[in-house]
Structure 1
Amino acid sequence: MRARWIAVAAGAAVIAAGVVVAAWPGDEAHADPEVEISRSSCGTGWSDPRPGPQVFQLHNTGSVTAEVDLVDPATGVIYGEVEGLSAGTTRPMQVTLANGDYAFRCLPEDTPAITGPKVTVTGGATRSPGVAPVTRNDLLGPLKTYEQKTQEGLNGLAGQTAALKDAVHSGNRDAAKTAWLTAYLAYERLGAAYDAFGDFDGSINGTADGLPGGTADEGFTGFHRVEAGLWHNEDMAALAPVADQLDADARKLRDTFADSQIDGNDLGLRAHEIMENTLQFELTGHTDYGSGSTLATTKANLDGTQAVLDVLRPLLTPRYPALPTVDKWITRTRSDVDKAGAVPVAQLDPKTRQRLNADVSQLCELLAPIAAIAEPRRVS
């Protein structure tokens, strides 16, 4: 069971599957309506339409698991949803209803969608726009565009890791550090494709976390292993095989990526997760193995988030009113990172560090609804 949240605008429904709410304060006179769901019928049992916050108890009387949406029957716009409603179980749908027409749309497994009877709510507030569902067909164009951009990024990455390898073999530590940063930031900009990279992501960009030998463990490879060696004065000849492996892995990833596929769920999800990981790992210095480049990585992650938003923008613009605010916070965060300079986060003054944490935290909050809005849904 997975909860999904949709926040659209002031007065809109905020939906969480699996959150049990016994009653709303001040509304004890109204019992939670029990709505029946099955393969043959949908939404029966709602006999007291009223505005305001309420909880529907969705009871699956059928024999298969179903997804249930509360929609405008004329447009299909969603105002509430519960997914993974197992046969014979009851789950709550918590919603806030305003004026307008509603109906339950049921999507049982291996069965066409069923839309139940229309119910009209009056006497309340003006209804928010709701969220129009995004289908897998809607995502085909954005996915193709992002996959093309990722392939272009991997083509460039292979050249950059080759330059890093050559610099390490030459014994020029300063040149190798410069080449390392260029290649590493290029990889970090490919933020939404990591799942499609499979095991290569671990070998190319893994950390020493959980390894018995820590940074000395043989399983510690990739960018951070090279970083640790370059900035901790490891013998360049000893570091050369590590750079060789990194370059070989980058080239293999480039050559095999065309056979991979980015999951449609990942685009919207990664828009939020890239910055969430930035807050957890970069702005704490957790992934700094000596280069002090986590602020530069933060900017690369902003680029990665922007790349996701760019391909999703045609879908998000009519569905997410806060998208212009997201754009403003990306600009603000990038500006504050630039002002902070190229220093390790541990060397930032407390006020600057607090401002950057606040920037990225707010950005994470604004990006969070995109995962639910852009998740592909069945509508038939």
Structure 2
Amino acid sequence: MTTPHHDTPSATQQPRDKAPSALVPWALGLALLLVLAGLALFYYATRTATGPQRGSIHKVVVGDSSCEPADFKLPAGLTTFEIHNASRRPLEWEILDGVMVVAERENIAPGFHSLLTVKLRPGSFAITCGLLSNPRGTLEVTPTTSSEAERLRPPLQSFIGPLSEQRVFLIMQGNAMEREAQALAAAVEAGDLDAARAHWLAARLPYKRIEAVAGRFADLESRIDPQADYLQGREEDPGFTGFHRLEKALFEQHTLDGLAPVAQQLAEDAGQLKGRIRALQQKPEDLAGSALWQAERLRDGALEHGQNPYAQSDLADLQANLEGMAKSVLLLGELLQGASAELATRVRADFDGLDKALQSLQVNGAFPAYREIAPAQRAELDRRLEQLAQGIAQVNPALGLE
């Protein structure tokens, strides 16, 4: 009789208990260390850094019954207080204007610190030092030039009138420039040299009145009013276009030959400039800012050397520049009078002084060629322009626009 054969289960079929891997305790330990390290870093961070620090930094240590220091005398402006809780209880630290909370930090735990950044305005304030029963500290904020300008700053709606009037002025001058540029192109096409010269001079004046704005459009300016000295090939450079290319032919070469495309391009560019000015949205600070830009530009060699070497019409250009600058700045006159009457009087007097100095150079009611203006006379114009620029530079800060 044959003994039955029982198959022995294979190794893969035999049940067995899986022993835990030796790496598991290590992994758990590492995870625990990471958690502890994270908590430690969090604890350290909360004790040492709680926010951005801006402006001047002033440390305050709050104890169980008082602050150190308890009293501050600070200038107006952006300030950061670093508040350390050296007491045994959570605390809050507040700046109070009467019963109103100006700024505060709450729930600062014992041993911790917090940062409070606030823009201080002039006045006298109280400071809570921990418990409400503790004596209060004081904060005396003194005025600064900036805070006074901000306090006196007119509301934005006050600038609507000046900005609107300036916009109308710019549009009208842009229209006048385009009209005269088109007439210039027609005179060139007709072969009328005298009429072309007259319209060149007439187109130049409205451009100069709005140059403080128009000169910011670099692409158009490089076609309308490029100076030969700034071009690689000077007068022979292909980029020598616009007013000065026409000026050389009309006033030095006495010819209209080849000018028709140049004059037509000037008329088209004047049209583009008019369109951009119509679409331009100026800000209150642009009124004085553009005039200051123009004044500094004129002082950068324009008065010393002149800009119209062929027509010699630089004094007429300067008068037009001055008219445009005066328009934009003196539109702010009423607002400036309220903010700084002294500055308003000074700026107006400086405009008048430069205008009178300019008019004194006329001969029989007309400006002479710029080459006839002596270096000392040019230096006097530059001195007066510098004085005017210094006054204009103070207008925006006085109105709180910076």
Which TM-score band (shorter chain)? 0.5 to 0.7
Greater relative CO, 1 or 2 (CA 8 Å, sep 6+): 1
- Which residue of structure 1 aligns with residue 314 of structure 2? 294
After superposition, the Cα gap between the structure-2 partners of 1:135 and 1:209, relative to the gap in structure 1 and judged at 3 Å, is farther
CA deviations 1:148-177 (Å, max 9, x no partner) are 221111112211111211222233333322
Residue 130, structure 1, aligned to residue 151, structure 2: no
After superposition, the Cα gap between the structure-2 partners of 1:244 and 1:120, relative to the gap in structure 1 and judged at 3 Å, is closer
Could you tell me how far 1:369 is from its partner in structure 2? Answer: 0.9
**Contact 2:72/2:140 (8 A) holds in 1:** no
User: What code does the residue aligned with 1:165 have?
Assistant: A
Match of residue 332, structure 1, among 344, 353, 358: 353
**Contact 1:294/1:345 (8 A) holds in 2:** yes
**Contact 2:72/2:139 (8 A) holds in 1:** no
Residue 368, structure 1, aligned to residue 393, structure 2: yes
Write the mapping of 1:265-304 to structure 2, written as runs, cut at 5 A.
265-304=285-324
**Contact 2:71/2:139 (8 A) holds in 1:** no
CA deviations 1:90-138 (Å, max 9, x no partner) are xxxxxxxxxx7379xxxxxxxxxxxxx852559xxxx999322356544
Match of residue 316, structure 1, among 319, 325, 336: 336
Cα RMSD, aligned residues only: 3.7
* Whole-angstrom CA distance in 1 between matches of 2:281 and 2:392: 23
- Which residue of structure 2 aligns with residue 158 of structure 1? 178
Match of residue 167, structure 2, among 139, 147, 156: 147
Match of residue 352, structure 1, among 377, 381, 386: 377
Match of residue 123, structure 2, among 98, 101, 113: 101
**Contact 2:225/2:242 (8 A) holds in 1:** yes
**Contact 1:287/1:294 (8 A) holds in 2:** yes
User: What code does the residue aligned with 2:190 have?
Assistant: S
CA deviations 1:322-378 (Å, max 9, x no partner) are 11121122112111111113234443234423322221121111111124345646x
Write the mapping of 1:7-26 to structure 2, written as runs, cut at 5 A.
none
After superposition, the Cα gap between the structure-2 partners of 1:161 and 1:46, relative to the gap in structure 1 and judged at 3 Å, is farther
After superposition, the Cα gap between the structure-2 partners of 1:375 and 1:158, relative to the gap in structure 1 and judged at 3 Å, is farther
CA deviations 1:32-89 (Å, max 9, x no partner) are x94369xxxxxxx995428xxx99996699xxxxxxxxxxx9xxxxxxxxxxxxxxxx
Unaligned runs of 5+ in 1: 1-32, 38-44, 62-72, 74-99, 104-116
Secondary structure class of the residue paired with 1:317: helix
- Which residue of structure 2 aligns with residue 49 of structure 1? 73
User: What code does the residue aligned with 1:204 have?
Assistant: I
**Contact 2:343/2:391 (8 A) holds in 1:** yes
Could you tell me how far 1:201 is from its partner in structure 2? Answer: 3.0
Over alpha carbons, which structure has the higher Rg?
2
CA deviations 1:292-347 (Å, max 9, x no partner) are 11111111111011110232223222123211121122112111111113234443
**Contact 1:154/1:253 (8 A) holds in 2:** yes
- Which residue of structure 1 aligns with residue 116 of structure 2? none
- Which residue of structure 2 aligns with residue 172 of structure 1? 192
- Which residue of structure 1 aligns with residue 255 of structure 2? 235
* Whole-angstrom CA distance in 1 between matches of 2:335 and 2:295: 21
User: What code does the residue aligned with 1:361 have?
Assistant: E
* Whole-angstrom CA distance in 2 between matches of 1:362 and 1:46: 47
Aligned length: 283
Residue 251, structure 1, aligned to residue 271, structure 2: yes
- Which residue of structure 2 aligns with residue 78 of structure 1? none
Unaligned runs of 5+ in 2: 1-54, 60-68, 83-96, 98-121, 126-137
> Quick check: 186-195 or 289-298, which moved more?
186-195
CA deviations 1:257-316 (Å, max 9, x no partner) are 333323443212112222222222431224223111111111111101111023222322
After superposition, the Cα gap between the structure-2 partners of 1:60 and 1:349, relative to the gap in structure 1 and judged at 3 Å, is farther
User: What code does the residue aligned with 1:336 have?
Assistant: A
Secondary structure class of the residue paired with 1:289: coil
> Quick check: 137-146 or 192-201, which moved more?
192-201
Match of residue 237, structure 2, among 197, 217, 242: 217
* Whole-angstrom CA distance in 2 between matches of 1:256 and 1:34: 44
Secondary structure class of the residue paired with 1:288: coil
- Normalised TM-score (structure 2): 0.61
**Contact 1:168/1:176 (8 A) holds in 2:** yes
**Contact 1:205/1:222 (8 A) holds in 2:** yes
User: What code does the residue aligned with 1:130 have?
Assistant: E
* Whole-angstrom CA distance in 1 between matches of 2:170 and 2:291: 15
Could you tell me how far 1:234 is from its partner in structure 2? Answer: 5.8
User: What code does the residue aligned with 1:252 have?
Assistant: Q
- Normalised TM-score (structure 1): 0.64
